[in-house]
Structures are given as structure tokens and as C-alpha cells.
Structure 1
Amino acid sequence: MLDLYDFHLSSASHRVRIGLRLKGLDYRSLPTSLVKGGGQQHLPEYRSLNPQGMVPVLVDDEFILSQSLAILEYLDELWPTPPFLPSEPAARARQFAQLIVSDIQSLTNLRVLAYLRTTLKATDVQRSLWFRHWLLEGLDALELWLTAEGHVQHYALGSAVTLADICLVPLITSARRFGLPLDDFPRLCTIETQCMELDAFRLAHPDQQTSE
């Protein structure tokens, strides 16, 4: 049995839940709140799993792995069907995923927003402006990327779900949760709609998880 330490609102955790569901793998969710009691990720027992104090963490027997993309590639190596990285668009799927994980999510995650509040003394309005700026700029880049690719398919890179979709849907979910306008991103929203017709995406949604 796989163990997943996750936080229901974490986009990174959301990605891994989608991946596990797509692979049809049984796993045990071990909710780890990033806010309760100052954040359970700071507890010594959690730091022993991930010294960074971040979610998610996947435990497979005695093997411990953090970082959502690393976890997803691990799952894809051990359980190759259905593949997250089909051979032909593999590089494009990685590029799309990295745009989200490295360039967008890394600037808008809870750890960054907390630093803005506690260390830089940013107000709620300032933090909201930061979040909106970087997320909307990132969504615009993704929409333009799909336009340049001539996107006409159900999913980001064709007729099958790939790593690109697994990373995109949690980002759109986060944007919706914070009430960001999405009218300028029709291709992204179409992909989200198609993905949400699949059980794996519906069951991995934050609203379907145990809140800590």
C-alpha cells in the first residue's frame, strides 16, 4: 500500500492524487495540514520524511519520495499504463508541466505567501495582488503556448491525458478558488472541462478530500 502525505488544497498534492487515480492505484491518504497549528509540515516526524517540510510525500514501503513531478515520473516508471509521457510528445509534456510547476506554482504557493506576510509584512491586499499577477501571467503564457501549437484536441497535447493535463487542472482549480477571471483562457478551460469528465480528476479534486 502506498502512503501519500498530502494537503487537500495543495496543487502539488492535487497533481499526485490525479496521477494515482489515473494509474488505478490504491493508496492511503495521510492528511498533513499546512495551516493547522502553524503547519504540521514543521513537526519533527514530518521533517524526517521531507527536510524541506513540503507536501506531498509518497512512501512506497521504505522508499520515500517528495516533489510532485518526481513522484509522478516514479509512478509512470513502475506502472507504465496508462503512460503520463507518451513517446512522441514527451518533451512537450515536460515543457508544459515545468511552465506550471517551476514558473507559476513556485511563486504562488502557500510558503511564498506566508513569507510575504510574516517577513516582508505584506498586507492581505498586497499578497492578493502578488498571487493574481503571477498566476494570471502564467495562465496567459500557457494559453498563448497552446494557441501557437494550434491546439484543437480534448486534452493539452492530444487525445490522451498526459503530464501536462495532470499539472494544469490543479492550477485552474486554484485560480477558481481565489476567484480569478478565466474568460481569457478558453483553451485552458476546455481542457479542464474534458479532464473533469474523468473519475480520476473528479475524485482527486480538493472538495473530495478530507480537510484537516
Structure 2
Amino acid sequence: MSGSIVLHDYWRSSSAYRVRIALNLLGLGYRSRPVDLVAGDQRGAENLAANPQGLVPVLEIDGQRLTQSLAIIEYLDETRAAGFLPDEPAERARARALAHAIAMEIQPVCNLRVARHAVSLGGAATMDGWMAHFIALGLEGVEGLLLQRPALPFCHGARPGLADICLVPQVYNARRWGVDLSAFPRLAAIAERAEALPAFAAAHPDRVKPDR
């Protein structure tokens, strides 16, 4: 089974990390095809043929070649009845809003190529300062959204879903860049709970980091 699904992956990419979690939650084996973002492999001919945006992840599955992590995860949800999103429209919108607050607000500003460009322009900006500022600012909003409702085991219920799949990689990045998570107790507790699950643990960057 693992040979029929291919994930174009970078071990530290939060977008690829999300897709690894989703595949693991579904018990879908896959073959990883590493794309080294630091070395610039994403701009190479092979990766551009798979994804003209020059990004990861790309998922080859069901005879399709899919891009954009949230689109991939929703495809898996719809084709595998994963339950990553609630059935009721308003609840589904809230779950998506939590996921988008991370994937569409925090991540684009903290994308490696964006942060590197900002620092290259000169001035007082540093990579650490840029990342910590925007991650903390974004997580403040996510915490506020979560606090609008009583505490739940996961972002939107008793089982992990789309928002949790987005949250855990972002918390990993927050720790990496020295963000103090004590200011966000609700989301930190949810992330810790999710990280203990085998599907999330197996997707952690330290577990999939190439040996070289």
C-alpha cells in the first residue's frame, strides 16, 4: 500500500507535517520523497514539475497529484470519511476558521522564504525576532478563538480534526523559535494532548528527519 501513495515532503515544513498527521490518522502508508527546502530543491525541475508553485507538500494518491496542505487534507476527509470536519455547516465553518487562522494567517508571514527576504532588506529585523513576533501574535488570536467556548479535549470536540492537524505543527514552530507558550494555556494543552497520540507523534519532524 505504501508504494501507491507518495508524499513530496520536507521534514520541517509545517504544511507537510499536517499532511503526515492526516495520513497517519487514516492509517495510510506512504512513501516519502524528500525535497530539501534549505538546499533549494523546491525550485528544481523535478519539484516544479510536481508543483509549479515550487512548494511542498505534493501528495500523489488515487491517480491524482494534489497540492496545498488544506486542500489535500479535505480531499482525504471527503474520500476516506475521516471526520476531520464536523457535519453541521456552522460548526464546520468554525473548525475551518481555527485551521485558517494558523494556515492562512500565521504560516504565510512565517514562511522561510518570506522571513529570509524580510531580514535581507536590512534594518533591525532578525530571523528569530521576526518569527517569534508573528507566531506569538497569531497564536494570541487562536487562543482567543478557543476561549470563546468551554474547554474541549481538542480544538473542536472530543477527537482531533482539521484545526488540531494545523495547530500541532505551528506549536512545534513556536517552540523552535522560542515563543513562550505559557501565554496560551488552552492551545498548549490541546497540542500536548494531540502530540501524545501515535499518529501525531509519528509525524513529528524528529521522527522523519533524513539521516543525512
Q: SS of the counterpart of 2:126?
A: helix
In the alignment, structure 1 residue 8 sits paired with structure 2 residue 11: yes
- Cα separation, partners in 2 of 1:158 and 1:62, compared to 1, 3 Å: closer
Alpha-carbon distance between aligned partners in 2 of 1:30 and 1:6, rounded to the nearest angstrom: 6
Q: Which segments of 5 or more consecutive residues in structure 1 lack a partner in the other structure?
A: none
Counterpart contact for 1:85–1:93, Cα < 8 Å: yes
Q: Aligned with 1:83: secondary structure?
A: coil
Unmatched tracts of structure 2, length 5 or more: none
CA contact (8 A) 2:99 2:167 kept: yes
* 1:114 to 2:116 alignment: yes
Following superposition, the deviation at residue 121 of structure 1 comes to 3.9
Give the match for residue 200 of structure 2.
201
Structure-1 separation of matches of 2:92 and 2:143: 19
Equivalent residue for 1:59? 60
For residues 85 and 126 of structure 1, the distance between their equivalents in structure 2, rounded to whole angstroms, comes to 37
AA of the residue aligned to 2:28: L
Give, in whole Å, the separation in 2 of the partners of 1:122 and 1:35.
23
Match status 1:176 vs 2:180: no
Aligned runs of 1:1-212 on 2, under 5 Å? Answer: 1-36=4-39, 39-60=40-61, 62-80=63-81, 82-88=82-88, 89-118=91-120, 120-121=121-122, 126-150=126-150, 152-211=151-210
CA offset at residue 63 of structure 1? 1.4
Contact 2:7 2:59 in 1 (8 A): yes
SS of the residue aligned with 1:183? Answer: helix
Change in Cα spacing, 1:61 to 1:84, as seen in structure 2 (3 Å) is closer
Could you give the per-residue CA deviations for residues 141-190 of structure 1, whole angstroms, max 9, x where no partner exists?
A: 1111111223x111011111110100000000111112211111100111
Q: Letter of the 2:195 partner, please give it.
A: M
Sequence identity (%): 44
CA contact (8 A) 1:116 1:122 kept: no
Pairwise CA RMSD: 1.5
- What SS does the aligned partner of 1:148 have? coil
What is the CA–CA distance in structure 1 between the aligned matches of 2:164 and 2:177, rounded to whole Å? Answer: 20
Q: Give CA-to-partner distance per residue, 1:99-158, whole Å, 9 cap, x none.
A: 11111111001121222244x2467x53322211111000111111111223x1110111
Counterpart amino acid of residue 147 in structure 2: T
What is the one-letter code of the residue matched to 1:19?
A: A
Report the residue type matching 2:27 in the other structure: G
Q: Distance in 1 between matches of 2:197 and 2:110?
A: 27
Whether contact under 8 Å (2:17, 2:169) holds in the other structure is yes
Q: Which runs of 4+ in 1 moved over 6 A?
A: none
Q: Is residue 31–residue 210 contact of structure 1 (8 Å, CA) maintained in 2? A: no
Inter-partner Cα distance in structure 2 for 1:84 and 1:42: 32
Residue type matched to 2:56 in 1? V
**DSSP 3-state at the match of 2:106:** helix
SS of equivalent residue, structure 1 residue 9: coil
- What is the CA distance between 1:61 and its match in structure 2? 5.1
Q: In 2, Cα distance between the equivalents of 1:105 and 1:78? A: 26
Contact 2:128 2:177 in 1 (8 A): no
TM normalised by structure 2 equals: 0.92
CA contact (8 A) 1:6 1:32 kept: yes
